[in-house]
Amino acid sequence: MYYRDQMEREVWIEKIPKRIISLVPSQTELLLDLGLEDRLVGVTKFCIHPSRIKQEKKIIGGTKQFRFDVIKELRPDLIIGNKEENYKEGIERLAKDYPVWMSDVFKLEDALEMIREVGLITGKEQEAYIIAKNLTEKFKQTFPQRGTAVYLIWQDPIMVAGKNTFINDMMGKAGFKNPIEEERYPSISLKELISLDPDYVLLSSEPFPFKEKHMGFYRTAIPRARVKLVDGEMFSWYGTRLLQAPEYFKSI
Superfamily classification of domain 2-138: Nitrogenase molybdenum iron protein domain (3.40.50.1980)
**Are the beta carbons of 229 and 218 closer than 8 angstroms?**
no
How is the chain split into domains, by residue range? 2-138, 147-251
Q: Which fold has domain 147-251?
A: Rossmann fold (3.40.50)
b/e map of 137-160 (b: 16 or more CB within 10 Å)?
Answer: eebeeeeeebebbbbbbeeeebbb
Mean pLDDT of the chain: 97
Q: Taking the model in full, what pTM does it have?
A: 0.94
DSSP3 helix / strand / coil % (the chain, rounded to 5): 40, 20, 40
**Bridge partners, residue 154, by sequence:** 159
Per-residue pLDDT tens digits for 71-126? 999 999 999 999 999 999 999 999 999 999 999 999 999 999 999 999 999 999 99
Buried/exposed 181-197: b ≥16 CB within 10 Å, e otherwise: eeeebbebeeeebeebe
pLDDT band, very low/low/confident/very high, at 54 (cuts 50, 70, 90):
confident
Per CATH, 2-138 and 147-251 having the same topology is answered: yes
Q: Is the pLDDT of residue 142 over 90?
A: no
What is the structure's pLDDT at 179? 98
Measured N-to-C along each axis, helices 108-122 and 166-173 cross at an angle, to the nearest 10 degrees, of 120
> Which one-letter amino acid corresponds to residue 216?
G
